[in-house]
Amino acid sequence: MSKISFTLIQTFLHWEDKQSNLKMLEEKIKGINNSHIIILPEMFSTGFSMNPQKLAEPFPGPTHEWMQKISKEKNKIITGSMMVEENGEYYNRMVWMLPNGEFGFYDKRHLFAYAKEDEHYAAGQKRLIASVSGWKINLQVCYDLRFPVWSRQQFSKDGAFEYDVLIFVANWPARRSLAWRTLLQARAIENQCYVIGVNRVGDDGNKIYHSGDSMVVDPLGEVLYHKADEEDIHTVLLDKDHLQTIRDKFQFWRDADRFAILP
C-alpha cells in the first residue's frame, strides 16, 4: 500500500474518569471514516495520573476490551496508552489494537522522574514496531521523545530501514511545548521517516495546562499538520513514494554509526 492514513485525536481528558473519557472518545471516533489508524493520547482513559493503585486495570481489562469493541465496529486500528497492572507492577502501556481483536503493546521505556512516574510505574524493556500493509510503525510514549537513541533507526548494509513512521502519544505540558515541537522535527530528520505526535489539551487534575501542539512531520522536517490549544480531529495521508524518494536522494544512512542498545 503506497499510501496510509492516520487520524489524530487531540482532546481534553476528564481527570481520572474512565467512563467519561471512553464515552467522549467513542463519540469522536464515530465520525471518523476515511482512515486506517486512529491515534489517541497518552493515558487516554484517565489523564497522566500517578494513581495507578486506584486506576490501573489488569491486562486485558475493561479499557482494552473497549478498544477491541471500537476497533472492530469501525474496522480500524486504534492505538493509545493506558495504565495497567501486571504481575504486581504498573505500566504506562501503549496498545496497538487490530479490528480482528489481535493486539500488540509497548510499555513506556523512559519514565518521567520529574513527575515521579518512576516511583509508580515500571519501565518497558523492548520496542514495538508494528506492520501494516508494507508500512512499519514504531510506537513510543511522551518522554521517550527526549531520548533519540531509543528511537534511532538501525540500517542494514543494503539500506533497509527499520520503520517508516514514528508515533509519540503524550500528555506533554504547554510550558515545554518548544521542546516537544523541536524534537518531533528532529526525530523525523535524523531517522528519515514520518513522525506523528498526538498530545492532549487543557488543564489536568494538577492544574497543568496542555497546549496540544499535535504534529505530523515529513522526513525532511516539514510540518504537514500542527494544531495548538484546541480540540481537533485531523486525518493525514502519508505517501510511501515520497518517503522513498527522499531516502534514495539523501542516503544519509550510509554514514550512520552502528550501535547496539544494551539491557
Q: Round to whole Å and give the CA distance between 4 and 20.
A: 30
Structure-block grid coordinates of residue 33:
471514516
193 CB contacts (<8 Å, ≥6 apart)? 138, 153, 161, 163, 164, 165, 166, 187, 219, 243
The H-assigned helical ranges of 75-117 are none
The partner residues of 25 in beta bridges, in order of sequence, read none
Q: Round to whole Å and give the CA distance between 37 and 53.
A: 31
> Which residue matches cell numbers 510506537?
139
CB atoms within 10 A of CB 234: 16
3-state secondary structure of 175: helix
86 CB contacts (<8 Å, ≥6 apart)? 58, 59
Q: Round to whole Å and give the CA distance between 103 and 98.
A: 6
Q: Please list the active-site residues.
A: 42, 108, 142
> Which residue matches cell numbers 508494507?
134
Q: Round to whole Å and give the CA distance between 230 and 210.
A: 10
CB atoms within 10 A of CB 33: 10
What's the length of the chain? 263
